Amino acid sequence: MKKTLTGTLALLAGAFAIHAQGLISLGNYLILSPYIHVNYLSGGHLVALGGANSGGGGSQYSSAASEANGNLWTVQLWAATGANQPASALTLAGGVNSVTLANGVSDATLSTWYSTGVATVGSGNLGGSQATVELVAWYNGTGITSYAAAQGVVPSGASALANITMGGPQPSGPTLLPAALPAGVASSGYLGDITLTVPEPSTIALGVIGASAFLMRLRRKN
C-alpha cells in the first residue's frame, strides 16, 4: 500500500510539472516601476505613439493620425525557458501575449499600454523558474499580424533581452503571482524602451541588389 501511494504521488507530481506554466504579467502601470515606452524614430526624432483610438490606418503609418491611434500599434511578448537564452531560442508566449498602445479609453499615457493580461511560458515551468524575455512591436494598420511580416515593411522594433523569475503554480504552497515585466534601462539588464524604425528606401534597394547578386552567383555555380 505504501509503495502504491508513493508511486501515485510521484506520478501526480510529474503530471503537475508537465502541465505547469510560468506566468508573466503584461501590465505596464505597476507601482514603483518605470514605464516601458514604444516610440517611432521618424526623421531623426522620436515620436511618442498612441493616446487615441481612431484615425489613421492603411499605409499612412507616418501620419499624425496613425501615430496617435494606439490601436494601430501592437506589442507582443516572446520568451524562452531559462536565463540568458539567445534571441533565436525565443518563441511567442502563450496566454495573453499581445497588447496595443494607449487608446484614450482604458488609458491615455503616450507610448505605453495598460493590460491586466497574463502570458504563459513553456510547459513544466513552476513558479520561481527563470525565463528570457523580449518585447517586440510594430504598426498593424496595414493588416500585418506578425512581427516577422512587419520587419522591413512598416515601423517595427524590439526591446533588449532580459531575464525574469516567473510566477506560477508550485508543487507545494501558494501559486506565485505573475511576474512583472523587467522594466528599466536596457543596459542594466532590463527590457528598456522599444524604438520602431523602418528601413529607408536606399537601404531596401541595397538589400535587393545584394540578394540579386547572391542568386546570380548561385546560378553560375550550378
The tens-digit pLDDT sequence of the chain (222 residues) is 444 433 333 333 444 444 689 999 999 987 778 999 999 999 899 999 999 999 999 888 889 999 999 999 999 999 999 999 999 999 999 999 999 999 999 888 999 999 999 999 998 899 999 999 999 999 999 999 999 999 999 999 999 999 999 999 988 888 999 999 999 999 999 999 999 999 765 443 333 334 344 344 444 444
Q: What is the pLDDT of residue 75?
A: 98
CA distances to 52, 54, 80, 212 from 64, rounded to whole Å, are 11, 11, 36, 36
Give me the sign of the Cα torsion angle 56, 59, 63, 66. Answer: positive
**pLDDT confidence of residue 205:** 36
DSSP secondary structure code for residue 191 in this structure? -
Q: Three cell numbers at 98?
A: 499581445
Residue 40: its pLDDT value, please?
A: 97
The pLDDT, as a whole number, for residue 62 is 83
pLDDT value at residue 209: 39
Q: What is the CA radius of gyration of the chain?
A: 21
Structure-derived torsion over alpha carbons of residues 207, 213, 219, 222, reported in degrees to the nearest 10: -100
Q: Give 148's contacts (C-beta < 8 A, 6+ positions apart).
A: none
What is the predicted pLDDT for the residue at 201?
56
